Structure 1
């Protein structure tokens, strides 16, 4: 196969563009990961402050998880939980 400088140049340009785009994706992901870690650190600080003021952080986390859930799903789960507890004599 004959060497074609134009073909070689086109391939190199395509490679450079792809490498730049890939680098952008990686750097964007790394930036988001750093932001995520910063937020996690801030959440830990909030819980540490709540604990320092005497609140039970385990319960706070459960309340936060419940607030995220769909109200109907939560009500159904609580109804089933009550039924199971009653069946076991836990009420």
Structure 2
């Protein structure tokens, strides 16, 4: 006794998998393009800020610090101060 539609079911599953894979790839490609556009926009803002006399390195540091939790930032600053004091830099 043979099972009906085994070939048909596997073909449908393969077609669904191919369609799903294609959709996933296209979504990733769209997001990658959006990411590139956003990166270009951020670079433009840094270029503009440099043209207005701001120190880009300092801006990047501030952005990084603002992403950190306040306690984490305080701990990092305390360690840095301790090391700088030990080296006679303060």
Instruction: Check whether TM > 0.5.
Output: yes
Show the 5 A alignment for 1:1-91: 6-91=5-90
- SS for the counterpart of 1:89 is coil
Unaligned runs of 5+ in 2: none
When the two chains are superposed, the root-mean-square deviation of aligned CA atoms in Å is 1.5
Aligned residues: 89
Q: TM-score w.r.t. structure 1 length?
A: 0.89
Q: TM-score w.r.t. structure 2 length?
A: 0.90
The structural deviation recorded for 1:5 is 7.5
Runs of 4+ off more than 4 Å: none
Unaligned runs of 5+ in 1: none
